[in-house]
Amino acid sequence: MKYSRRELQTQKRECVFQQLFLGEFYGADEKLPHLALFLDDSDLLTELELDRIEEMPEEERALLKARCEAVLEKLPELDAQIGEVSEGWKTSRMSRVDLSILRLALYEMEFDDEVPLKVAINEAVELAKKYGGDDSPSFVNAILGKLALRLAPQPEGESNAR
C-alpha cells in the first residue's frame, strides 16, 4: 500500500508517540534498549504495528528510530519547559499519554524545522483525541499554546514574557 507524504508523517509521529509512551514503563536506562528491541524485533510488534513498520521504507524506519532517540535525549529539557508552563501540574502527575504527546510535540516545535508550530500543535491534539482521556485534547492544546508563545518569533520591540 502506498501512503501519501502526510499519511507517512502521521504514521511516523504515531509510532514515535507509542514508543515514548511505552518507554514510560521502563527505567531511564532501559528506554533506548527497549526502543531498539521494538524496532528491530518483529516478535514484539502487534499486527498493526508490524504492518505499519514493515510497510515503511528502511530509511523511514531509520528516521523513526533516530527521532525516538532524539526525543529521549532531550527529555530533561522538554520536561523542564513543560513544567514551567503547566501551572499546578508537575510532569510526574500528568497522564503518561498526555506527557508523551507533549514531549513529542514540543520536540517538533523546538527542534524540527520541517514541522511548523501550528502543525505540531494540531497533530498533538489529534493524538490526544485518539489516545487520551476526555480532557486530554484541551489540556495538550493549552500547554502547547503557552509553549508556542515562548517559541514563536516576535516582532521587534515585543516580548513573549507574560
DSSP for 132-144, written as a single string: S-TTHHHHHHHHH
Report pLDDT for 87.
Answer: 84
- Report, in angstroms and rounded to the nearest whole number, the Rg of the chain calculated over CA atoms: 16
- Between 31-40 and 58-73, two packed helices, what is the crossing angle to 10 degrees? 170
Give dist(CA 63, CA 18) in Å, integer: 15
CB 64 within 8 A of CB 101: no
Give dist(CA 17, CA 11) in Å, integer: 10
Nearest to 122 by CA among 135, 132, 109: 109
**Helix residue spans in 24-57 (DSSP H):** 31-40, 47-55
* Type of residue found at 150: R
Report pLDDT for 47.
Answer: 47
What's the pTM value of the predicted model, to 2 decimals? Answer: 0.81
The x, y and z cell numbers of residue 44, run together, are: 514484539
Provide the residue-wise pLDDT of the chain in tens; the chain has 162 residues. 566 677 777 878 888 888 888 878 766 565 555 555 555 544 444 444 545 555 666 777 778 888 888 998 999 999 999 999 998 888 889 999 999 999 999 999 999 999 999 999 999 999 999 999 999 999 999 999 999 999 876 665 555 544
In terms of Cβ atoms closer than 10 Å to its own Cβ (0-12, 13-18, 19+), residue 20 is buried
Domains and CATH numbers, the chain: 1-73 (no CATH), 74-152 (1.10.940.10)
